[in-house]
């Protein structure tokens, strides 16, 4: 069984949050840092701690108490540069050696593999904070700004920030917030997010119907399923087990521009030939780019009309496989964001004569939170972004080359993926996160071969790869 007291809480359960601060730091004094980190360990919320918090939240709701239960959750992770600074041998975390994205860091990976736009100096066109050497990331989540700000101050004090005792320097702290009111749980384009994450064998006791549960090692280092690309198990140093890699991306979203695009390109008729109003045609276009309606209902099950009841039913809203759709984009375009990033039966049950490709090792655990303000009236009328907003994208996996990097590079940025279709048209890039010349087919259900070009709606402005160690790893090795 998994040791839930040894695993950081965000990995398996997700820290409960209405708001969350991402605190990026550099280590300035190694000896002091170890001492301070030792004092931080009791603050760290484990999976067991999160389960207790969730019980408290359920109890609060059941008894119809007003407001939210005050709580915070702290987790910590380190970049390769951080381990180097600390003098810790992290080679077992980078089985690909000098090619390993954890070792090169995301700044290099962004321009060599992820396809991020770059500047004339060869560096990615990022917020300057992410061009600095980031050694670690502290996540602080909670139910209110007050709780999280208080906790952040406490942690800064603990690390002596702004004093002679300082062991770290704050590079940047970014606050994310769940969106207000009815938009809670929806990302800035308006789509419900956080529906599909892998269920974990031995941890999720009654997983909802959907993709098959994955071995714990898809997420956790040193567990069954923590494999190299060739399927053989990774060998991790003892301190580096029960941890997970955190791929962070600072992604800005062009929301008014996205809305304008939908408005300008409404789909004329649904797949049954019914004429759509311009609004309904724009909604269908958005749903076909994402693969779900804004409500969260998957278009594989509700192809031409939103179904809010389906969307709200956890027993049904992730139970689809693009079945019977091989070689067809009628219900869902091949390049739709959720089909690109989790192709389900496109690879696992391909057309007869082609060997299935298991995608267990490609599953990622998505966390993350929205940042930035709601759209202003002026942005709405001008159709132009005036305030930065988007997603603090974060996902966990036991291997970045198998997980995030693969999804971005080999799937989202690859116009020929998924590969087994015999249509004359290519699927195209992921319309949201694909880097390159963004165009996709399949948006018009009655003219699948028609290709629609689109601008960049999501702009990467930073990121790094981190490793979130176990509590034992923190106590006995990193802080020792
Ligand atoms: Fe994506 N969006 O609002 O359109 N994503 N995503 N994502 N995403 C998903 O099923 C979004 C990004 C995945 O199992 C949903 O829970 C936005 C990156 C994966 O069926 C929505 C951004 C990567 C899934 C969005 C963004 C992924 C997924 C449907 C950036 C990895 C699950 C909700 C600003 C490289 C697929 C749900 C599955 C779902 C959106 C980024 C991957 C609505 C706005 C960078 C694996």
What's the 68 CA to ligand 1 centre distance in angstroms? 28
pLDDT of residue 351: 82
pLDDT of residue 424: 78
Task: Say if the ipTM goes beyond 0.95.
Answer: yes
Query: What letters, b where the CB count within 10 A reaches 16 and e where it falls short, cover 437-475?
Result: ebbbbbbbbeebeebbebebbbbbbbbbbbbbbbbbbbb
Task: State whether the beta carbon of 338 lies less than 6 angstroms from ligand 1.
Answer: yes
Taking the CA of residue 341 as reference, the ligand 1 atom at the shortest distance is 46
What are residue 24's DSSP bridge partners?
137, 172
Among 259, 341, 359, which residue has the most ligand 1 atoms within 8 Å of its CB, making it the best to mutate?
341
pLDDT of residue 419: 87
The active-site residue, picked from 10, 90, 116, 193, is 193
**DSSP summary character for residue 277:** -
Q: What is the pLDDT along the chain (480 residues), one digit of tens a residue?
A: 999 999 999 999 999 999 999 999 999 999 999 999 999 999 999 999 999 999 999 999 999 999 999 999 999 999 999 999 999 999 999 999 999 999 999 999 999 999 999 999 999 999 999 999 999 999 999 999 999 999 999 999 999 998 999 999 999 999 999 999 999 999 999 999 999 999 999 999 999 999 999 999 999 999 999 999 889 999 999 999 999 999 999 999 999 999 999 999 999 999 999 999 999 999 999 999 999 999 999 999 999 999 999 999 999 999 999 987 667 899 999 999 999 999 999 999 888 888 999 999 999 999 999 999 999 999 999 999 999 999 999 999 999 999 999 999 999 999 999 987 667 789 999 999 999 999 999 999 999 999 999 999 999 999 999 999 999 999 999 999
How many residues does this entry show for the chain?
480
Residue nearest to atom 28 of ligand 1 (CA): 338
Q: Rounded to two decimals, what is the model's pTM?
A: 0.97
pLDDT of residue 77: 98
What are residue 251's DSSP bridge partners?
391, 460
Specify whether 53 is catalytic: no
Contacts of 429 (CB under 8 A, 6+ apart): 335, 412, 413, 414, 415, 435, 436, 437, 438, 439, 440
Q: Across 238-360, where does the E strand assignment appear? A: 244-253
Task: State whether the beta carbon of 187 lies less than 6 angstroms from ligand 1.
Answer: yes
What's the 206 CA to ligand 1 centre distance in angstroms? 24
Task: State whether the beta carbon of 292 lies less than 6 angstroms from ligand 1.
Answer: yes
Pairing of strands 458-468, 451-453: unpaired
Instruction: Please enumerate, as own/partner, the contacts of 96-103 that have beta carbons within 8 Å and a separation of 24 or more.
Output: 96/401, 100/400, 100/401, 101/400, 101/401, 101/405, 101/465, 102/245, 102/400, 102/465, 102/467
What's the 364 CA to ligand 1 centre distance in angstroms? 10
How far is residue 89's CA from residue 472's CA, in Å, rounded to a whole number? 16
Task: State whether the beta carbon of 391 lies less than 6 angstroms from ligand 1.
Answer: yes
What's the 121 CA to ligand 1 centre distance in angstroms? 31
How far is residue 203's CA from residue 330's CA, in Å, rounded to a whole number? 37
């Amino acid at each position: 069984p998994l040791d839930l007291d040894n695993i950081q809480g965000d990995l398996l359960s997700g820290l409960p949050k209405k708001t969350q601060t991402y605190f990026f730091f550099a280590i300035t004094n190694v000896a002091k840092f170890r001492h301070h980190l030792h004092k931080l360990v009791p603050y760290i919320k484990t999976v067991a701690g999160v389960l207790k918090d969730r019980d408290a939240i359920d109890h609060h709701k059941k008894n119809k108490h007003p407001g939210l239960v005050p709580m915070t959750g702290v987790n910590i992770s380190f970049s390769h540069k951080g381990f180097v600074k600390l003098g810790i041998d992290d080679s077992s975390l980078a089985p690909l050696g000098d090619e390993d994205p954890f070792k090169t860091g995301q700044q290099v990976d962004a321009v060599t593999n992820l396809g991020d736009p770059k500047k004339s100096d060869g560096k990615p066109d990022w917020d300057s904070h992410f061009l600095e050497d980031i050694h670690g990331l502290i996540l602080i989540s909670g139910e209110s700004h007050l709780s999280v700000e208080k906790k952040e101050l406490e942690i800064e004090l603990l690390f002596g920030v702004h004093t002679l005792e300082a062991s770290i320097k704050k590079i940047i702290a970014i606050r994310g917030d769940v969106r207000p009111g009815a938009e809670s749980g929806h990302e800035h384009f308006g789509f419900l997010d956080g529906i599909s994450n892998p269920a974990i064998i031995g941890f999720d006791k009654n997983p909802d119907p959907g993709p098959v549960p994955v071995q714990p090692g898809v997420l956790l280092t040193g567990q069954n399923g923590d494999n190299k690309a060739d399927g053989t198990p990774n060998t991790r140093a003892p301190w580096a087990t029960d941890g997970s890699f955190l791929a962070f991306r600072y992604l800005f979203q062009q929301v008014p521009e996205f809305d304008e695009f939908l408005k300008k390109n409404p789909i004329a008729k649904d797949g049954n030939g019914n004429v759509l109003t311009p609004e309904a045609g724009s909604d269908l276009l958005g749903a076909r780019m994402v693969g779900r309606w804004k409500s969260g209902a998957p278009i594989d099950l509700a192809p031409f009309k939103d179904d809010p009841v389906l969307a709200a039913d956890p027993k049904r809203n992730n139970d689809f496989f693009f079945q019977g759709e091989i070689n067809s984009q009628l219900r869902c375009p091949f390049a739709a964001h959720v089909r690109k990033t989790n192709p389900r039966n496109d690879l696992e049950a391909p057309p007869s004569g082609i060997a299935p490709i298991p995608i267990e090792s490609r599953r990622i655990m998505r966390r993350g939170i929205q940042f930035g303000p709601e759209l202003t009236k002026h942005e709405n009328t001008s159709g132009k972004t005036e305030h930065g907003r988007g997603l603090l994208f974060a996902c966990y996996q036991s291997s970045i080359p198998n997980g995030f990097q693969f999804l971005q590079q080999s799937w989202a940025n690859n116009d020929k993926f998924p590969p087994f279709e015999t249509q004359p048209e290519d699927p195209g890039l992921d319309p949201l996160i694909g880097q390159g010349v963004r165009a996709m087919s399949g948006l018009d259900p009655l003219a699948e071969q028609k290709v629609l070009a689109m601008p960049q709606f999501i702009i990467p402005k930073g990121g790094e790869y981190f490793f979130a160690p176990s509590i034992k790893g923190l106590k006995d090795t990193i802080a020792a």
